[in-house]
């Protein structure tokens, strides 16, 4: 649906890259390699985003590094639209919010970096999971989503062993009554 509203595939890729995870940074040549596109097309879109103040940039060691402007009034709206577009919001509704003794839920790897694919990696943090019930929730969700879900359950004391850096992990749910907050 988003691709019928936004006709530029490069623009959609950039939105996904920067607005799913606000910690994501990138530079032009890196984006060109990742997207398999020319630097000119990507540069034009980056310039449009900068003109609209949707992304910020800074020069570090002769490289212009781009990052989402989280203070832009539309940042949260774009972020939520992309979560809906990728199916992450459905994942939260169908699995994460129903697990029970859950403290936090993270998406890691490709999806967290704004590169949706065929497999979503999910880290569920908490104690005393009903593994059979969780497995049934995941299977039911996979029937309605365009990707498979690979998940792991960890205790709060183990979570740091399973989370990559902030650019490769995305917190998608927190229990408001959790002691971890």
25, 29, 32, 36: CA torsion to nearest 10? -120
Q: Kindly report which listed range (15-19, 51-55, 81-85, 174-178) carries the lowest average pLDDT score.
A: 174-178
User: What CATH superfamily is the domain 87-174?
Assistant: Beta Polymerase, domain 2 (3.30.460.10)
Q: 15, exposed or middle or buried, with CB in 10 Å at 0-12, 13-18, 19+?
A: buried
In CATH terms, the fold of domain 2-68 is Arc Repressor Mutant, subunit A (1.10.10)
Tens digit of pLDDT for each residue in 125-140? 998 888 999 999 999 9
**Is the pLDDT score of 100 beyond 90?**
no
Higher pLDDT, 167 or 62: 62
Q: What are the extents of the domains in the chain?
A: 2-68, 87-174
**Region of poorest pLDDT, from 45-59, 83-97, 159-173:** 159-173
């Amino acid at each position: 649906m988003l691709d019928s509203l936004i006709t530029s595939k490069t623009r959609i890729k950039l939105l996904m890259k920067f607005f799913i995870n606000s910690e994501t940074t990138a530079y032009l040549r890196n984006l060109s390699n990742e997207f398999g596109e020319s630097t000119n097309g990507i540069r034009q879109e980056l310039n449009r985003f900068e003109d609209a103040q949707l992304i910020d940039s800074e020069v570090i060691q002769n490289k212009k590094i781009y990052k989402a402007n989280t203070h832009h009034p539309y940042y949260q709206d774009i972020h939520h639209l992309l979560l809906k577009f990728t199916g992450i919001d459905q994942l939260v509704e169908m699995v994460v919010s129903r697990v029970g003794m859950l403290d936090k839920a993270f998406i890691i790897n490709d999806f967290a970096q704004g590169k949706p694919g065929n497999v979503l990696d999910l880290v569920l943090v908490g104690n005393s999971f009903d593994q059979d019930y969780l497995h049934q929730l995941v299977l039911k969700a996979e029937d309605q989503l365009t990707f498979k879900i690979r998940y792991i359950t960890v205790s709060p004391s183990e979570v740091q062993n399973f989370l990559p850096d902030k650019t490769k992990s995305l917190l998608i749910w927190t229990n408001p009554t959790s002691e971890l907050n």
